[in-house]
Amino acid sequence: MPSVKNKGKILVVDDEETIGIGISEILKDVGFEAGYVVSGFDAVEAMKKTGYGVVFMDMIMPGMNGLETFREIKKLRPGVKVILFTGYFKDAEGVIVQGVKEGMIDEFIRKPYFADEIIKSARKYA
């Protein structure tokens, strides 16, 4: 389980820099400590170093997709909460269904997202 001190720490994972930076800035503006990385591999490394309590993660990324990354993060921090998002629902549908079956998806947001959706989800889990 994430410790209380890490609950306000949120990691944003997206291979699209404008989206990742945008979400992390929205979270910082409302008082969260937010980090940003561009790949699943970087997300796993960031979790090893910082131990974020919540992760906002893109589903469709080169290398490790969101579900594969989530599996690795859950091994490191079983209590972490992950909010997955994508703009490519058709391509991500099978991954989403598998994630739900495995009990791995805490919440799902479709792009384009609205700032209030991001803030609401962060406050719900952080």
pLDDT tens digit sequence for 7-47? 579 999 999 999 899 999 999 999 999 999 999 999 999 99
**Amino acid identity of 45?**
E
pLDDT of residue 24: 95
- The predicted-structure confidence for 40-80, as pLDDT tens digits, reads as follows 999 999 999 987 999 998 888 889 988 889 889 989 998 88
Tell me how far apart the alpha carbons of residues 30 and 27 are, in angstroms, rounded to a whole number: 5
pLDDT category at 82 given cuts 50, 70, 90 is: confident
Q: For residue 63, count other CB atoms closer than 10 A to its CB.
A: 12
Domains in the chain: ranges and CATH: 4-118 (3.40.50.2300)
